[in-house]
Amino acid sequence: MSTESAPLTSGHVPVSKSLVQLRKATDMRGSLVVAELGADLPFVPQRFFIVYDVPSRDVRGEHAHRTCEQFLTCLKGSVRAIVDDGANREEFLIDSPDIGLYMPAMTWGTQYAYSPDAVLGVFASLPYDEADYIRTYAEFRAAVNA
């Protein structure tokens, strides 16, 4: 895409402490969202996965990671997300591919209210490791308060 007709903003711009605005270019040919790995995301991803076809009544996530960071972006549709660092809890609507939700390590994350067409892309800072997961909120709170 020509940056003359649709300039890209440089880098990521924090919208809040958790939301990141990704660079977007739109012209008559469509839209493009870009994230340079190692520059635009808060970490260099080592894993990527997609969550889709989630019934709207179902809840996903409901866990934290000891060391892994995550970056969520809704590639299509919308998802509601709750992030909780043990002291503060915030809820976000992720409904555009140029907005990402950054979840540092030791953040309890819950995703719900998936639209029927939702496609959630998740970048992770580390490969899958079951030992990194904290699966109960009580264990998460104990780890945060330790």
**Which one from 47, 63, 66, 141 is the annotated catalytic residue?**
63
Whether residue 63 lies in the annotated active site = yes
Other beta carbons within 10 Å of 2? 9
The DSSP H or E segment spanning 102 is strand 99-103
- Rounded Cα distance, 112 and 62, in Å: 10
Per the structure block, which two tokens stand in for 34?
A: 């870009």
Per the structure block, which two tokens stand in for 137?
A: 């909120």
Catalytic residues: 63
